Amino acid sequence: MSELDNQWSLPAGTRRASSAAARRSISLKRLKIRENMLAYVFLAPSLLLFGVFMFYPLLRSVYLSLYSTDPAGRVASFVGLDNFKSLFSSGLFLDGIRVTALFTLLTVPAGMLIALALAALTHNLLRGKRPFQFAFSLPMVLSVGSAAVIWKFLFHPSLGMLNYGLELAGFAPVPWLTSPKWALLSVSLMTVWMNLGFNYIVISSGMQGIPDDMYESAKIDGAGPLAMFRRITVPLLSPTLFFVLVVSIISAFQSFGQINILTQGGPMNSTNVFVYSIYREAFVNFRFGTGSAQALMLFLVILLLTLIQFKWVERKVHYQ
């Protein structure tokens, strides 16, 4: 007996229930398809922006890294992996990594520790907290260009306020941006100040999520402020600190604006961080092939560092 005969042999009520269930299943499928289409419509603008400004430049960089370019920046000939080989043979890649790593060591720990100290000092204030919060988060509202111009005036060898203050205190003026010994330290100082607002806001918000009853219980047990900070605040704040660490390292490896305005990679390449080296290679020397190769290497370095942090550093994070 065929399936159709079996269906007609069923009672009328069973056939109606089966037909209603089939129609309901079809309606649910159509509704799901309609909802998915609506979701894709809302996602389309962001996907388009991602494609134009992220995925296309990435694929274009991969393409250009395999070619050499003429003085006008046009693709000339296929060279394969020669652009990558030239990075290591010339020492350009290793020198950029060295300067960027030193810049990261100067900015990330200092920026996190200062923000953590300021957040801890203002967290327990019952009155007068708002002015401090406003002052500490103020650098966040300034663009990199505006902040760099302000600090360039502060670093001026003869008219800058920093050297003026040193002379009033009886010290010799410092060649902040003109000495290879001081240039990277000066740019790092400006970068720590510039990132202070973001770090402070994130860490301060994380502290507000710590229950007050834990501090009260610790006080009853006789714990002092330092003990509570070390045994309660830091462990419960570790997810926030881990987030700030990852973002700060990525931001340090991508720093460009303050370098371009303050030192242009000098003096004597002492501030020639990786991103500025890419910019100079591609848009000053018009060697887009080697510039793209450097950009891909930077992407791999940042990816590797991020994976290392999530693999080993995250083990120290307390999520509960």
Q: Is the pLDDT of residue 296 over 80?
A: yes
pLDDT at residue number 248: 95
- Residue 150 or residue 13, greater confidence: 150
pLDDT at residue number 47: 87
Nearest Cα neighbor of 183 from 89, 115, 75, 264 is 264
pLDDT at residue number 140: 85
Say whether 263 sits in a helix, a strand or coil. coil
Tens digits of per-residue pLDDT, 50-87?
888 888 988 988 999 999 888 777 888 888 889 898 88
Say whether 308 sits in a helix, a strand or coil. helix
pLDDT at residue number 24: 65
Q: Is the pLDDT of residue 2 over 50?
A: no
pLDDT at residue number 3: 47
Q: Is the pLDDT of residue 9 over 70?
A: no
Q: Is the pLDDT of residue 195 over 60?
A: yes
Q: Is the pLDDT of residue 212 over 90?
A: no
**Which residues lie across from 234 on neighbouring strands?**
none
**Average pLDDT of span 164-172:** 92
Percent of the chain with pLDDT over 90: 39
- What the chain holds in terms of domains, given with CATH numbers, is 22-79 (no CATH), 83-316 (1.10.3720.10)
Written as six digits, the tokens of 297 are: 């290497």
pLDDT at residue number 130: 80
**Average pLDDT of span 201-228:** 86
Written as six digits, the tokens of 81 are: 């992996």
Amino acid identity of residue 313, one-letter, is V
pLDDT at residue number 129: 74
Nearest Cα neighbor of 103 from 293, 272, 299 is 272
**Cα separation, 99 vs 87, whole angstroms:** 15
On average, the pLDDT of the chain sits at: 85
